[in-house]
Structure 1
Amino acid sequence: MIYRILVVEDDPTIQRELVTLLQGDGYQAEAVTDFSAVVSTVRDRQPHLILLDIQLPGQSGFSLCSQIRAFSNVPILFVTSSSSDMDELSSLLLGGDGFVTKPYHTAILLARIAALLKRAYPHQPDPVLTWRGATLHLDRSQLTYQEATADLTRNELKILAYLFRHAGTICARGDLVSYLWDNQVYVDDNALSVNIGRIREKLAGIGLTGFIQTKHRQGYLI
């Protein structure tokens, strides 16, 4: 299943950035262009999740959130330059499901989106990701290759899912650490290296030697 995400953001640069980011992560993303018709667009498009700014032309994101909540329980994640506690509290009291402050870290934003979708649609089957003959089964926490199977731990699955969703591009170590551990400062960077090493051993065991490449001082690539 491909989730539909509606981006309600009036800054053209950020709007394009969000749509590109979401599409690159496997979502069907669409940006609102007529801010006088946001509510009707939500009714027509029936998105699975909405990214909503607070400061918008015509009316605020708070007002739009209240109107949407009158007919829909779609997850609403506020993505805004406002960092005040009152704005965050207001977003939650009006029915918002989360609050992310700009400038946002892309890996953390994607993790928040994935968590909201999983919570809102718990019975939807997880997708299967494929790359160069390997298949990652997110629902079974397994990777298969030529009829051989490797069982994965939770962190190993998350690392591979991130790499699969960014296949063909270098994934920075910092982005992976933030995605895995929500940027917790006490996490030793070596923990990522240990997990990557264990994944490589499991992949080699099913014939996938060299599947994950290390790019010196840059990150990892599949």
Structure 2
Amino acid sequence: MTFVLVVDDDPAMRRTLSINLRARDYDVETAGDGRSALQIVDERMPDVVLLDLGLPDLDGIAVLTQLRSFTQVPVIVVSARTESDDKVEALDLGADDFITKPFSIEELLARVRATSRRAGREEPDLVVEVDGLRLDVTDSRATRGEDEIHLTPIEWRIVEVLARHRGRLVRQADLLTAVWGPAYDTQTNYLRVHMASIRRKLEEDAANPVLFVTEPGMGYRFLA
């Protein structure tokens, strides 16, 4: 399991990134300042670091400089700073990538995957086969026998989160945050609508689902 260290002084940003990464089966720790981040690295080396530049003690550039004095761990700078000088300095000091806030979660996750691949830390592909249904979650492709099944991008995100937590309960708020973002963590009607569509497409009997199971008042499990 890929271990990602999120370093950001904004608690909402730490929570959003943590939920989205964990929903995709990454191991995550967070730090709100540079010294805490370096302490975590000293105790346990991450596979990828997401590093904000505007930290309250050591700024991100100082943290990056210290990291590069003893490790080549992949570092993706995640910053609201848009000046090209900041980007050039971070990349010159050894950052592997630079993404500017605000950004889409999907873009960030793609950067993490790409950086992990380059560093040889890529997450394994996820393919599930059950009763003639084949879900290639990595490539967003579903088939039953010879028939292709079309899922929307939102439906694939829901399926991916549940499949990467196979057998485990994913709470409604966590699933909503992982798919739509933290502003939607109470919009349970969104899940009801999309889960009904997913079941119509993927379950043998949508009225009696055995793959995408509801835990009333709590969340969902994928039981393939």
Q: Tell whether 2:163 aligns with 1:164.
A: no
Residue in structure 2 matched with residue 195 of structure 1 by the alignment = none
SS at match of 1:30: strand
The runs of 4+ residues in structure 1 deviating greater than 3 Å are 129-145, 148-151, 158-164, 166-172
Contact 2:2 2:27 in 1 (8 A): yes
Alignment pair present for 1:128 and 2:126: yes
Q: Secondary structure of the equivalent of 1:165?
A: helix
Equivalent residues of 2:9, 2:33 under 8 A apart:
no
Q: Identify the match of residue 202 of structure 2 among 202, 211, 216.
A: 211
What does the per-residue CA deviation read over 1:58-89, in whole Å, with 9 as the maximum and x for residues that have no partner?
Answer: 11101111111111111100111101111111
5+ long unaligned stretches in structure 2: 163-174, 181-198, 204-211, 213-221
CA distance in 2, matches of 1:114, 1:75: 11
How far is the alpha carbon of 1:138 from its aligned partner?
7.0
Alpha-carbon RMSD across the aligned residues, in angstroms, is: 3.7
Equivalence for 2:35 = 36
**8 Å contact 1:135–1:143 — kept in the other structure?**
yes
Q: 1:144 to 1:103 in 2, by over 3 A?
A: same
CA gap of 1:58–1:34, structure 2 versus 1, over 3 A, is closer
Who is 2:206 aligned against? none
State the identity %: 28
Q: Which amino acid aligns with 1:91?
A: A
CA spacing shift, 1:149–1:118, aligned 2, 3 Å: farther
Residues 123-164 of structure 1, C-alpha deviations (whole Å, 9 max, x = no match): x6724354876554578998687xx6889xxxx9x9997553
- Give the structure 1 partner of residue 116 of structure 2: 117
Separation in structure 2 between the aligned mates of residue 102 and residue 47 of structure 1, nearest angstrom = 23
Q: Could you tell me how far apart the structure 1 residues matched to 2:179 and 2:18 are?
A: 19
SS in 2 for 1:166: helix
CA distance in 2, matches of 1:140, 1:95: 31
Q: For residues 131 and 24 of structure 1, what CA distance do their matches in structure 2 show? A: 21
Query: TM-score, normalised on structure 1?
Result: 0.62
Count the aligned residue pairs.
170
1:112 aligned counterpart, secondary structure = helix
Bigger RCO (CA 8 Å, 6+ sep) = 2
**Letter of the aligned partner of 2:83 in structure 1?**
S
| 2: CA distance, partners of 1:129 / 1:10 | 36
Q: Aligned to 1:104, what secondary structure does the other structure show?
A: coil
Output the TM-score relative to the length of structure 2.
0.62
Runs of 5+ consecutive residues of structure 1 not aligned to the other structure: 173-207, 213-220
